[in-house]
Structure 1
Amino acid sequence: MRIALLTEGGYPYARGEGGAWCDRLVRGLPGHEFEVYALSRSERTEAGGRVELPSQVRRVRSERLWGAPPEDDGSRGRAARRARRHRFLHHYRELVAALAGGDEGSAAGRTDDVIGVSGAGADGYGGARADRFASGLYGLAELAHEDGGLPGLLRSEQALRALEDACRAPGVRPLLATVGVADLLTAAELLERALRPLSAPWYEPDELGAADLCHAVSGGPATLPGLLAKRFFGTPLLVTEYGVRLREALLAHRASGLSAEVRALLTAFHRLLAGESYREAALITPGSTHARRWQERCGADRSRLRTVYPGMEAARFARAGEAAEAAGADAQGGHTDPTLTWVGRPDPAKDLIALLHAFDAIRTAEPGARLRILHVRGGVDSYLAGCRTLAAQLFPDEAQDAVTVGESPVTFEEIGSPGAPQLADAYASGDVVVLSSIVEGFPLSLVEAMFCGRATVSTDVGAVREVIGGTGLVVPPRNPKALADACLALLREPDRAARLGAAARERALELFTVERCVGAFREIYLELVAHCPVRREPLLDTDGVPRPFSEPAEAHVPGRLTPVLPAPTWARRPQPAGFPFPGGDLA
């Protein structure tokens, strides 16, 4: 079948975990044809070039969400331009009125909190506000599809005035009533960039119209092409979120230095877009219960949620995992000193400061303990430098005697250095792996440590507890004493640490492998195409005869393709009309 893979800031450009996950998915499904529709977030996204693509990727189309907008051709007459501007303003006013929260005196527009649900139940931002947002969004999309792009209109003085009127309308949040011109200009520019997918030349029968399924591998703007493909061609939409895009947007807005007024408008846009994409998606696949809770809070129907854990390559950690298993109760595995290991990209969310203070307490109880901080490139250099300074203050170089060169019990090393040439070597270098984060989505580094058979001590954030599942110790975040006590417990009980490490490896091999993830999406693709086939005119050859296999065979097969365990009628969940998917997890 033909799959349109919708990405934002990732595949086929990014070489991080998000891009690697897409690459593993595509390579694991050689029987399908993929077309990648990529949204580029910044110039840096494209600077590194594309990754090597497998043969099943037939085409890559890209659109920039940064830089100057494309120029309008200006070929229309005055009357046509006036009519187009009038139509644009009608739809744009609907959109920005929904963002500002005004609803012509409706209470729904005055009570919702920008981030929370505020008693709205599972529908979140549903009702009149969501309808108004959808009306404006699809109206702008239809205008762009019929009569060219929108960037010039979105940055026009009339659009700015419409945004100002929406912010000063009755019923809006008090925060927006005093918004200044500079903030309006900033918000209008950022909204124009977020709406650029509406103007992409992708909504034609030989583009997204030829796909059997649109798979958005993140939320946010990446879902816009899928929403329009469903509206224009009836193409089913699958939304996968391993990191909740709305949550990422909230954190990014807070860190960007934008004013509170601009943040409120942008957050409302991402919040309403998330709700619309969840309502229109045929199926939503969160990567954890943590992500699932966010989606339910934003209006996702539980019957359309199916958890699929991200698959990771276990083979590159096999040697370390087998060595840990062979060591058995010898948890120190040849280390002369009990060693804690932290592996990751240093930034404030990882809270290495708390880890260093916890290690100070550990050294008091276990003077021979050591801490290795093994980091990858791309972290916040200033934060890493601050951690080095703190470590030097807490742990000055120590020497055994007057002639021995002193060294610190805390070392900072980059992965790829002689001490840790490979990622698996980094995890294998310690007895216990520590995760000290205060913010975390799906903890990939924790899964890697589990593949290596290492016992772990982690803070209770994000999906940590779900991933660990009883095979490691979990402590509250921002609590150095609890972190130190848990680490000491495992360092002093190597037998227990070995048992936990072995159990963690078994759990990771059962739940978090590439094969399990790819198999889950293989089944989901078949189900979606079988239950939600795209009805289109048959493709004809040069003689006017319909081409064979122009539609996937699954579109003609009713029912679920995989067996379902029988259940009594009282235990079955009621399904919404027109949607036959049962709820449940693929994990």
Structure 2
Amino acid sequence: MVTEGTYPFVVGGVSSWCDQLVGGLSDVDWILLPIVGGDTLRKRIFHIPPNVRLMKSLELWSDSRIRTVGARSSSRTRRDDLPGELLRGLLAWDANPATLKDPLLWCRQNPTAIRHSFRASVGWDSFLAALEELRVESVPDAHAMPEMDIPEASELYQTLYWVARCGAMPLPKTDVMHLTAAGWASLPAIAEKADRGTPVLLTEHGLYVREAYLGAMSTNATPGRRFITSRLARGLTRTAYAVADLIAPVTPAHTQWERAFDVNPDKIRTIPNGVRNPDEPTPLPRHDVVVSVGRIDPLKDVHTLLRVAEAVLKERPNTQFLHYGPIGEAQEEYARSVQMVYRSLNLGPRFRFMGSTEEPERALRAADVVLMTSISEGLPMTLLEAMSEARPIVSTGVGGVADVIHGCGLTTQPGDVHGLANAVCTLLEFPDMAEEMGIRGFNRVKRKYTARRHLDAYREALWDVSRLGAPTRAGTAVDRREVVA
């Protein structure tokens, strides 16, 4: 299993999902490769089950030396066009992801030569030539590349170096590679598949490319950096879709994006998330408590959450808002902006930041309403957990949310402060209706979204994908007993 900035180091819905999957499928031997940013010492948040072997993290933009397990050449080897090949394969609008197979396989076979290829002047020349091709491309559906200065071009060059480093990552022989996001994880996957024929399963929680687009739109970065961020995310997603033998979105809502990227519908299999379901629903406390759970991150739109609280408190001043969740990785600046909005709205003790919780069920059980204001989601574990506790929901109707909570809560458009606040006030004003919605959600989880159904579906998917495994380059079958997940 290949994770990106989540399990086992970060609290969140995807991490909880990973923990449930590897722990629940105890008959599978998992090898876990976390991809993280930087070389900061990270503490494991989750206990690693005995059927999981944790590899050393792949640390992007770190000072770590490249690993050379299985290297077959000396550092004097050089691939002159490597930077240009990677740029064309990832950032060109009409790039064919298959063109990345040869250069990334070369990186795996010649890991110590990557630095030499990027330090050579001919490598920089190949990059500039490919960048010029990108500058003059004319595509009706795409924005033209803005002018880039030297620092921006240098940052892109360094990013391509890390693309090569990802492709060079040595991996053990396994039955399946399981990617948990359509991003950087696609790079070691395409090299592994080219090298050994290992089949690939991709799970899509949030839509990687859509969230990158949203992030680029909301940032104060230069046009050049926004272009690089959005084009790179698009290229990584196209690569992930191309290398995957089976794509398992958590909601049918994702399939329209996948098909827009020309994914064959036959290799899409929706597998919804699942949660533990209590035996009986618990009654609402009826104390006018609104609970939200999520990291402090722009995608969770905590600014809107605070403004909704302000609007509700004007109508129902005794309402108590409790927000659970840590600051997202590299989101310290956003967290400061959240505190500025909080102070400017004078919410005081009626809105409390509770930090992380190891008992989300208990936190949700204290709620009369569970509130979510995200601008992007897949099928949030928090909402399923709220439904399993028979709690009514008010949420933005992003991703698969609207379909899942239909009849169990109320939805609005992202950023609709008035609509969200009105929905919260309605459920607090009519607790009998709110309780009925909560019970409906409890019963729906019991029918459709249990952990057992989810685990059974993934056991079947892993088995189906493992049977697609090809022989190694030498023509001998891989000993298939493990999953890189």
TM-score, normalization by structure 2: 0.84
Of the three residues 281, 292, 303, the one matched with 1:322 is 281
1:414 aligns with 2:354: yes
Of the three residues 218, 230, 237, the one matched with 1:274 is 237
1:504, distance to aligned residue in structure 2 (A)? 0.9
Q: Distance in 2 between matches of 1:217 and 1:433?
A: 27
1:72, distance to aligned residue in structure 2 (A)? 11
Equivalent position amino acid for 2:411 in 1: V
Q: Distance in 2 between matches of 1:72 and 1:55?
A: 26
Q: 8 Å contact 2:2–2:185 — kept in the other structure?
A: yes
Deviations 1:419-470 (A, max 9, x none): x994333323332222233343433322222122111222222332022132
Of the three residues 60, 64, 84, the one matched with 1:93 is 84
Q: Distance in 2 between matches of 1:445 and 1:463?
A: 13
Of the three residues 190, 193, 198, the one matched with 2:159 is 190
Partner of 1:119: none
Task: Name which one, 1 or 2, has greater alpha-carbon Rg.
Answer: 1
Deviations 1:533-556 (A, max 9, x none): 4335668xxxxxxxxx9567xxxx
1:488, distance to aligned residue in structure 2 (A)? 2.9
Partner of 1:118: none
Q: 8 Å contact 1:96–1:166 — kept in the other structure?
A: yes
Equivalent position amino acid for 1:20 in 2: S
Partner of 1:7: 3
Number of aligned residues: 465
Q: Distance in 2 between matches of 1:71 and 1:550?
A: 26
1:460 aligns with 2:409: no
1:284, distance to aligned residue in structure 2 (A)? 0.4
- Report the identity percentage: 25
Residues 501, 245 of structure 1: alpha-carbon distance in 2 compared, 3 angstrom cutoff:
same
Of the three residues 137, 144, 151, the one matched with 2:115 is 151
Alignment of 1:283-298 (within 5 A): 283-298=246-261
Partner of 1:512: 449
Partner of 2:370: 433
Counterpart of 2:88 in 1: which secondary structure? helix
1:68 aligns with 2:37: no
Residues 89, 256 of structure 1: alpha-carbon distance in 2 compared, 3 angstrom cutoff:
farther
Deviates more, 1:28-37 or 1:278-287: 28-37
Partner of 1:585: none
Residues 193, 339 of structure 1: alpha-carbon distance in 2 compared, 3 angstrom cutoff:
same
Counterpart of 2:248 in 1: which secondary structure? strand
Of the three residues 492, 496, 510, the one matched with 2:429 is 492
Q: 8 Å contact 1:183–1:259 — kept in the other structure?
A: no
Deviations 1:191-227 (A, max 9, x none): 212331222233xxxx2xx312221122212122222
Residues 527, 344 of structure 1: alpha-carbon distance in 2 compared, 3 angstrom cutoff:
closer
Deviations 1:47-78 (A, max 9, x none): 214743222224625432121363799x989x
Residues 194, 313 of structure 1: alpha-carbon distance in 2 compared, 3 angstrom cutoff:
farther
Q: Distance in 2 between matches of 1:415 and 1:444?
A: 18
Q: Distance in 2 between matches of 1:284 and 1:351?
A: 28
Q: CA RMSD in A?
A: 3.4
TM-score, normalization by structure 1: 0.70
1:386 aligns with 2:386: no
Q: 8 Å contact 1:286–1:308 — kept in the other structure?
A: yes
Q: Distance in 2 between matches of 1:382 and 1:506?
A: 40
Deviations 1:160-197 (A, max 9, x none): 32222222237326844732222111110122123312
Q: Distance in 2 between matches of 1:361 and 1:148?
A: 57
Q: Distance in 1 between matches of 2:423 and 2:54?
A: 51
Partner of 2:293: 343
Residues 154, 12 of structure 1: alpha-carbon distance in 2 compared, 3 angstrom cutoff:
farther
Return the structure number with greater relative CO, CA threshold 8 A, min gap 6. Answer: 2
Counterpart of 1:43 in 2: which secondary structure? coil
Q: Distance in 2 between matches of 1:181 and 1:148?
A: 27
Counterpart of 2:454 in 1: which secondary structure? helix
Alignment of 1:439-478 (within 5 A): 439-478=376-415
Partner of 1:52: 47
Structure 2: tracts of 5 or more residues without a match? 329-333
Q: 8 Å contact 2:83–2:161 — kept in the other structure?
A: no
Partner of 1:33: 29
Q: 8 Å contact 2:146–2:223 — kept in the other structure?
A: no
Q: Distance in 2 between matches of 1:517 and 1:506?
A: 16
Equivalent position amino acid for 1:223 in 2: S
